Amino acid sequence: MKRTEKFIQFGEGGFLRGFADWMIQKMNDSTDFEGSVVVVQPIKDGLCDMLSSQDCKYTHLIRGEEGYESSVIDVISRCVKPYDDFDSYIALASQPELRYIISNTTESGIAYVEGDKDTDAPPSSFPAKVTLLLKKRFDLGLDGFIFLPCELIDRNGDNLRACILKYADLWGYGDNFKSWVEKENVFTNTLVDRINTGYPKGEEIELTFDDKMVNTSEFFHLWVIETDYDLEKELPFKKAGLNVIVTPDALEKYRTRKVRILNGAHTSLVPFALLSGFDTVKSCVDNADMNAYIRRCVFDEIIPTLDLPKDELVEYAENVLVRFSNPYIKHYLSSIALNSVSKFKVRVLPSILEYKKRFGVYPKTLVFALKKLLEFYKTDMTNDDPKICAFLKQATTAEALANDKLWGTDLSDLLGEIE
């Protein structure tokens, strides 16, 4: 196939291969897009050698209650390893057809490292590597890139641009370069949502070739891309039937939707479920009483506090429950229980307070979840800051609720509700 290298992708792990690369494959298969990906290994040790050994092809399996889907992903044209061949990395700047930069360098990847120098080959941080690439592009008089970062931090594109501009100042690249970075490049902010479960260890799976890079995921996928740029005129997400939302200003609503519904359902469920003897999310969904409890939390008390259209919220929530019941994903409650107090503060408490603000009463099921959280911290099952655990283990309900350092506000008004 004659495809054009259009994407530089920082990261070769399971998430990007089962999310962005899978989407590019869909666009190639169902439209005339015909784009390919150059993968850059952002750290010294990675999976690129293994990927290259099988011509950068791999099998992607999508599995869940919805069914089973297997496809061979062949959109990656080659891998570049800056720590082994820095010249090949910098040479990417000279390819005018390279248009997009995708990244997933973990939550700590978009960071400014003061010790990085522009004489390093390469510098350690991801933003520093990108700054060198952009400087070469600028010196050649070529167009900038469209950045599609997938790191799970708030305003990921804005943060990446800020780091690049700091390196430009540190390295004395001048105002003209900084102006070019801001005006000739598009930094989108994104929200990504798909569970990728990696290589299916211990499973016997029929494959079409010897594949050491098999990747697996759930069916659900969502990519919200916040930008004023008309991205859909270039990337045929909709024609390919992909769940991608390009929006100029609504990213925060979708982020809130995910945190309040998906993460909020987890956090309001876990203490109650562990105290009741359950071990996985699926075991809760499969139980009629616990399923009804989750549905009361989500549909009766969380959704009424959100501002997106109700049909969108209901559809998303139903998808969440299907995802929770995926037989191929063992999501242990004990792992979700880590740092439950801070999670409750961010994921559930805002729904409780917003419900009271809108309807004049507190939501009974979510308040019950808070009661169970406090009970949970009386046990030895917790996994949190030792000081938080010690305080909640000996505190009365009144003392716990009045501790504004835990919740960000004094919750004494909830004492009567909990009692």
Q: Specify the number of domains making up the chain.
A: 2
**pTM recorded for the entire structure:** 0.84
370 and 398 housed in the same domain: yes
Tokens for 351, please give them.
Answer: 């729904």
Q: What is the pLDDT of residue 1?
A: 57
Q: What three-state secondary structure class fits 223?
A: strand
Tens-place pLDDT, residues 249-308: 989 989 999 999 999 999 999 999 999 999 999 999 999 999 999 999 999 999 999 988
- From 249, 276, 299, the end of a domain falls on 249
Closest CA to 187 of 154, 145, 222: 145
Q: What is the pLDDT of residue 46?
A: 93
- From 185, 220, 249, the end of a domain falls on 249
Q: What is the pLDDT of residue 260?
A: 96
* pLDDT less than 70: residues of the chain: 1
CATH number of the domain to which 138 belongs: 3.40.50.720
Tens-place pLDDT, residues 354-400: 999 999 999 999 999 999 999 999 999 998 899 999 999 999 999 99
Q: What is the pLDDT of residue 211?
A: 94
226 and 270 housed in the same domain: no
CATH number of the domain to which 308 belongs: 1.10.1040.10
Q: Which residue has the tokens 């003392």?
A: 399
Q: Domain residues for 221?
A: 4-249
52 and 135 housed in the same domain: yes
Q: What is the DSSP letter of 235?
A: S
61 and 209 housed in the same domain: yes
Closest CA to 129 of 44, 212, 60: 44
Backbone angles phi, psi at 195, to 5 degrees: -90, 115
163-193 burial: b if 16+ Cβ within 10 Å, else e: bbbebbeebebeeebeebbeeebbbbbbbbb
238 and 345 housed in the same domain: no
312 and 391 housed in the same domain: yes
Q: What is the pLDDT of residue 93?
A: 98
226 and 267 housed in the same domain: no
123 and 135 housed in the same domain: yes
356 and 236 housed in the same domain: no
251-286 burial: b if 16+ Cβ within 10 Å, else e: beebbbbbbbbbbbbbbbbbbbbbeeebebbbbbbe
207 and 328 housed in the same domain: no
